[in-house]
Amino acid sequence: MTSPKPKTTQTMKPSTAAKKLGVPLSATPAEFQASVVSRDELNELQSTPPAWLVDLRRNGPHTKQVIAAKLKVSVAGLLRNGITEPLTTAEIDALKAENPEWLEREQALQVKVRKEALRLKQQG
C-alpha cells in the first residue's frame, strides 16, 4: 500500500490571476504583480476582494472584455474602432454619452449576431 502523496498547491502567474479576476495586470498593486498566486488565494480574492480590487472593478481601468460588455459590443468591434487600451469607467461612460456612429453600428451588429445565435440554437 502506498502512502498518499502530499497535496501540492496549484499556483498561477500574476497575469493569469489578473485575467481570472477580470482586471488588467498593469493596474494591480506591485506586490500582486511580483507574486505567484495560489488557487486558494485567488478564491479568497474572489470571495472577499480587497479594497484595491473593488476599486479596480468599479472604476477601472477595465479589460477589453469588460469594456465590450459595458458598451454592448464585441471585443472585435472595439479593436476595429481603435479601442486597444484599457479604459476607465468614466471613459466608458463618456463614450456612451457621446454615442459615436461607430458605437451605434457595432451595437446594432452585436444585436444581429445575438439574434442569429439564438435562432440557430432554437433550430438546434
pLDDT in tens, 85-124: 999 999 999 999 999 999 999 999 999 999 999 999 998 7
Cell digits for 89? 469607467
Look at residue 1 and tell me whether its pLDDT is greater than 60: no
Does the global pTM surpass 0.85? no
* Residue 12 DSSP code: E
Under DSSP, the state recorded for 103 is H
Cis preceding linkage at 61, omega within 30: yes
Position 9 confidence tier, pLDDT thresholds 50, 70, 90: confident
Q: Are 21 and 53 in contact (CB under 8 A)?
A: yes
Three-class DSSP category at 119: helix
d(CA 9, CA 72): 38
According to DSSP, the residues that pair with 11 across neighbouring strands are 38
Task: Give residue-wise pLDDT tens across range 15-69.
Answer: 999 999 999 999 999 999 999 999 999 999 999 999 999 999 999 999 999 999 9
